[in-house]
Structure 1
């Protein structure tokens, strides 16, 4: 990789790292607005929608145009939007401000993810390198998620759940975003704009036409179901740790970092394994292992009783076993994204990434709301047992996804 490609990769990794902290803080913020503002679980679950629906809307409306705007410019614009709302969070301690903050985070990430995924094609020469880089980038994203749980946990008062001290974390995040903006500004990018003259309406319609391809439809279903599972678990795991496993609020957030760490390890490892192991076999093994972990770990949560000793030495076994699902969940999303993107010309990567982001965002919102409603109406164990349904559906969708990719490979021979 040339020096300029390395600089681009570093700027992409840093951007994804910073936004990983912000995006995946929604589960932490849900726990804190319940404690600090007295919000119900059903009302707090809407924060996921304030984050994900703008991601889908921005990707839908602007993905086809981003090569013209410039990938770097789009990412810098996203950083500027989030910097403004991060500064407002500690100054205006209210639930509506939390909604506004995630609204702007969603808008910004819609710009950033499309730009970032499209930029991977500029610095990778083969499908194998593309899959490897995408897993490394997604692994870095999970390192950011992992860091976020500990950064937020350091500002949460475990002895006073209603304390607003957690809002001071946004000053730290503001500094990170500002540094990220400067590094993007100093990194030169190139953009693959189609040489043929086409109108913006034509570019937009080309993106919509992609969704009608049978392989793309199967892929969209697979991506939607995967994100439904990941966001449902990731968003509500802090509340599960707090209310079901009876961990203090700060420990509940920090214990969720095990899930993020497993996702990070799984994705970084998959960056190397994908070069040697057949992706279809690997993903099927991962899905079966996910189902087994759900069935094993949920009964362990039933053994908990309130009033026990707090502290890591006395933490329940379920707090350590269930998050291991992240190890097996990790390779699925980057793998199917890479396989889909590398089956298309690079000029279509921006439009395809727009579809990926749209349906990932819709899946995330759906998963969080379903999990939150079931959690509120029944209990945490029942909410997480529901993940077995989409796990089974992904097994089916991957079968048809593989058939579609094999047809493309045979037609190219």
Structure 2
């Protein structure tokens, strides 16, 4: 049984709503930046004339800094302060966004995603920890988690259309798409004002205390030791596997979907990006809708159904793309084949998995451990995303898009097994979470 922690001051419901709005807006901006990697890969191949394998490195420049920064700073953020951390992250990204159109190169693109990765580590740890502080119950936490993650996907959806607006359909290899970063830099600056005006709750965590998890009392560790000590819990280890393989699948498909649309289905660059927004829309709808469904259905039953549906969709839709002549570029919406509309629907079933497993593991732990647990979530999610993009891009480059997407059936199978084991470990160690 987990002993609840307390905050130093209680926020009113209106104050909690203001904090939630601030977290949503911050997450929204990072949703655009983080998930623009698929669009940027497509445009970098066109503009900077690089290979698909070289372009796949962008995911690593984004995700590996997330993992490294999370490992070293996640447990210390409560001491540093969530507001200063969020302001620092937004300020860093505002600067690099402004530099993108000034220094047009693939190197600058790498530097942008590195800064986004470093900053997102600060942002995500802060957001997840603050959600625990403004959520009174497990159901309230799960609801807030799905709202924030759902709005994140709305940001992803908006990002596809925003970037597509700046792509010149007559000359897709031009630098015109880089002008989107002026707008994003302005958004970062405005959000910094919102963060500065928002009063965040503070976490009261004594230096030396004890916590009871799974019936065992232990001294409260600090810093990196606090994060690593969570690995002693069996359900945390199984969660890590689930998070790793989920993000591997999501990034493997989501990052390369614009390129798949162009090289396999034959869509023009701007259409390739715009139609990928269906994937983001499905993720948003799925996550927002999951909050309602999970109140009536056990999380494992629902997620097992979702993974099975993902595999069935993949096996049903990919064969429809084999007979398409991608050399005949499609420039009009009414000429787009059904497969291009059907494939992104996989996002509907993919969407609920990540916020659901995150909420389950966080509510199984005391609130003052949420920052450390979020660090582990970010680290292994980042590693999964990097590997997923690299594998998909390499298979795409050396074989074809269909083979690259078929490969995702393997991690889907592993994810389903990992979820089963995750549930078993939770039932043994934290039965109150079930």
Q: 1:171 aligns with which of 179, 182, 186?
A: 182
Give 1:159 deviation, angstroms. Answer: 1.8
In the other structure, the counterpart of 1:391 is 412
Q: 1:307 aligns with which of 315, 319, 328?
A: 328
Is 1:294–1:385's contact at 8 Å kept on the other side of the alignment? yes
Q: 1:360 aligns with which of 357, 360, 381?
A: 381
Is the alpha carbon distance of 1:308 and 1:56 closer, same or farther for their aligned partners in structure 2, counting shifts above 3 Å? closer
In the other structure, the counterpart of 1:103 is 114
RMSD: 1.6
1:281-323 deviations in whole A, cap 9, x for unaligned? 1000000000001001101111211326531111011111110
Separation in structure 1 between the aligned mates of residue 295 and residue 140 of structure 2, nearest angstrom: 9
Separation in structure 1 between the aligned mates of residue 359 and residue 131 of structure 2, nearest angstrom: 10
Give 1:108 deviation, angstroms. Answer: 0.2
Is 1:194–1:347's contact at 8 Å kept on the other side of the alignment? yes
Question: Quick check: 263-272 or 195-204, which moved more?
Answer: 195-204
Give 1:211 deviation, angstroms. Answer: 1.6
In the other structure, the counterpart of 2:237 is 217
In the other structure, the counterpart of 2:212 is none
Is 2:24–2:148's contact at 8 Å kept on the other side of the alignment? yes
Is the alpha carbon distance of 1:324 and 1:5 closer, same or farther for their aligned partners in structure 2, counting shifts above 3 Å? same
Separation in structure 2 between the aligned mates of residue 201 and residue 402 of structure 1, nearest angstrom: 26
Separation in structure 2 between the aligned mates of residue 46 and residue 380 of structure 1, nearest angstrom: 18
TM-score (norm 1): 0.97
Is 1:65–1:200's contact at 8 Å kept on the other side of the alignment? no
In the other structure, the counterpart of 1:272 is 292
**2:128 is equivalent to residue 117 of structure 1:** yes
In the other structure, the counterpart of 1:203 is 223
1:267-286 deviations in whole A, cap 9, x for unaligned? 00011211111111100000
| Unaligned segments of structure 1, at least 5 residues | none
**2:360 is equivalent to residue 339 of structure 1:** yes
In the other structure, the counterpart of 1:316 is 337
Separation in structure 2 between the aligned mates of residue 252 and residue 334 of structure 1, nearest angstrom: 27
Is the alpha carbon distance of 1:410 and 1:3 closer, same or farther for their aligned partners in structure 2, counting shifts above 3 Å? closer
Q: 1:255 aligns with which of 272, 275, 297?
A: 275
TM-score (norm 2): 0.93
Give 1:161 deviation, angstroms. Answer: 1.9
In the other structure, the counterpart of 1:241 is 261
Is 1:132–1:275's contact at 8 Å kept on the other side of the alignment? no
**2:32 is equivalent to residue 21 of structure 1:** yes
In the other structure, the counterpart of 2:251 is 231
Please show how residues 134-149 of structure 1 align to structure 2 within 5 Å. Answer: 134-149=145-160
Separation in structure 2 between the aligned mates of residue 334 and residue 411 of structure 1, nearest angstrom: 19
In the other structure, the counterpart of 1:326 is 347
Query: Which secondary structure state, in structure 2, belongs to the residue aligned with residue 304 of structure 1?
Result: coil
Is 2:208–2:220's contact at 8 Å kept on the other side of the alignment? no
Give 1:192 deviation, angstroms. Answer: 1.1
Is 1:211–1:355's contact at 8 Å kept on the other side of the alignment? no
Give 1:70 deviation, angstroms. Answer: 1.0
Give 1:409 deviation, angstroms. Answer: 4.0
Query: Which secondary structure state, in structure 2, belongs to the residue aligned with residue 121 of structure 1?
Result: helix
Give 1:194 deviation, angstroms. Answer: 1.1
Please show how residues 37-76 of structure 1 align to structure 2 within 5 Å. Answer: 37-76=48-87
Query: Which secondary structure state, in structure 1, belongs to the residue aligned with residue 162 of structure 2?
Result: helix
Question: Quick check: 399-408 or 113-122, which moved more?
Answer: 399-408
Is 1:90–1:168's contact at 8 Å kept on the other side of the alignment? yes
Query: Which secondary structure state, in structure 1, belongs to the residue aligned with residue 133 of structure 2?
Result: coil
Is 1:52–1:362's contact at 8 Å kept on the other side of the alignment? yes
Is the alpha carbon distance of 1:227 and 1:309 closer, same or farther for their aligned partners in structure 2, counting shifts above 3 Å? closer
